[in-house]
Structure 1
């Protein structure tokens, strides 16, 4: 109406009489009022409605399909363009972007320095580690181990009610305390968050230990650590129940002592890990032939 009468009356007068703002009228006047623009405006409202009805979960393909079900002929490119203009992004896509962004900003994981070559001859030069869990009456108990590939001896282990970076640090600290981990040793693990933690990386770096990780979702890349946990559970823990974490901790420690000093290991020619470590570290062949004390 204002457009028709503005030739005869001032715009501000017409706006005042009709109860609209002058700035609002000029904004409206500047818009494209062609049939194409009106269809675009109508589609925009419908796209927004379908996106909201999906609880912000639908992408442009699903929004297009929803419009087709309502008998509205529109192609996917138009819907995608409208959604881009409105900034309508499905929540799943937002979450995926955040995850990808976090991964891209994260320090790259170490490369595989073991490459499934588990037969080593230098004690302490290549270590493998992993975490397992034990059910108790007080909840889960998590156990971290550090195993020497040359002797297959469990050099260090730690237990706790949470699987944190500090748990694996304690296990590795105990392994180093045995004096059987030389400078430049390689520590191999999976891609668990505990082994990717900055605190664990700093701990290894300060002690000259090189970190190594196998491929993701490939248990065979850490087969020796997995094999020990299988023996621990099948030979001891599966047959027992633990009312408390403390009883489980004691049982795990007892089995590790048995494994290191009394259990013949097929890979070692049926010697024990302790006997093998003595043989590999002793400069005297005759002394090396004497089994280690239990």
Structure 2
């Protein structure tokens, strides 16, 4: 068997999987095998041969079907045991296994602290929402990350980059904090994007007493406010422009956010602007102080 497969796997690998020494393999070539050992070695050789012939893509069921079609009837579970002994699995299954192992190693995602309570009366700076979208330019994609105050709908922080990275969302949150409207212990709600699940962003939020919150997977309505802003900026500004560069797009985004915060009136705010709402909701606190 080793002679037939050594070109594909190598003598050292095959001897290791079959629990025989290389010297034992060379010595045994000159000795006859028992019927039981001969059958086991033939089975292993056929399984390995069928696996290699499939481009290392077939699982134990398909390999059992292949061997049966060739006149070597075998139970699929027996093939599975042989493959496990050899430590081989289909490439797709190997990739899936690695992804599952990576998911098991990572820290659990934050709970949903918001639960779609978008209309409840809340104080500015206590609940923030954010997301990432992409904008087409002549230079390629530009990614935009936002941090929006739920009480006033004001865009407190934003950032753009040609790549989706953890640094993109950290920069947006840092700019939100620089606005002076983010309170200690605030909730930041997002989707399950890798940037928001990254250790870099989690560490940043922990240092600045920001509690992370995430909705359910594949439920865009769990972050509807952030999605709504992206719809507005694209439909009201970016869709009608030919953005010649990422710098051009960033400039237009900046201009729109300034307009959005200070001049655009929102039905949800009683047709006030985010800036007016922020002033109205924070003025009593400022006066009392």
TM range (shorter): 0.7 to 0.9
1:160 alignment counterpart: 161
Cα displacement (A) at 1:106: 0.8
Cα displacement (A) at 1:282: 0.9
1:60 alignment counterpart: 60
1:39 alignment counterpart: 39
2:27 alignment counterpart: 24
- Distance, in Å, in 2 between the alignment partners of 1:260 and 1:26 is 82
> How do 1:26-105 residues align onto structure 2 when only pairs under 5 Å count?
28=31, 31=33, 33-34=34-35, 36-105=36-105
1:265 alignment counterpart: 266
2:180 alignment counterpart: 179
TM-score relative to the length of structure 1: 0.84
- Distance, in Å, in 1 between the alignment partners of 2:29 and 2:220 is 69
Cα displacement (A) at 1:183: 0.7
Structure 1 ranges of 4+ moved more than 4 A: none
Deviations 1:228-280 (A, max 9, x none): 00001011111111111111111111111111111110111111111111111
Match of 1:168, SS? helix
- Distance, in Å, in 2 between the alignment partners of 1:64 and 1:284 is 75
> How do 1:224-263 residues align onto structure 2 when only pairs under 5 Å count?
224-263=225-264
CA contact (8 A) 1:121 1:280 kept: no
Cα displacement (A) at 1:122: 0.4
CA contact (8 A) 1:190 1:222 kept: yes
Deviations 1:160-199 (A, max 9, x none): 2112111111111111111111111011111111111111
Match of 1:52, SS? helix
Cα displacement (A) at 1:97: 1.6
TM-score relative to the length of structure 2: 0.85
- Rg (Cα) greater in structure: 1
Question: How well do the aligned residues superpose, as a CA RMSD in angstroms?
Answer: 2.1
Unaligned runs of 5+ in 2: 1-23
> How do 1:184-199 residues align onto structure 2 when only pairs under 5 Å count?
184-199=185-200
Q: Does the C-alpha gap of structure 1 residues 57 and 284 become closer, same or farther in structure 2, counting only changes over 3 Å?
A: closer
- Distance, in Å, in 2 between the alignment partners of 1:73 and 1:197 is 50
Cα displacement (A) at 1:27: 8.6
- Distance, in Å, in 1 between the alignment partners of 2:185 and 2:197 is 19
Task: Check if 1:201 corresponds to 2:222.
Answer: no
Match of 1:282, SS? helix
CA contact (8 A) 1:129 1:225 kept: yes
- Distance, in Å, in 2 between the alignment partners of 1:86 and 1:166 is 43
- Distance, in Å, in 2 between the alignment partners of 1:210 and 1:25 is 66
1:220 alignment counterpart: 221
Task: Check if 1:108 corresponds to 2:90.
Answer: no
2:13 alignment counterpart: none
Cα displacement (A) at 1:68: 2.0
Deviations 1:81-109 (A, max 9, x none): 22222222222222222111111111111
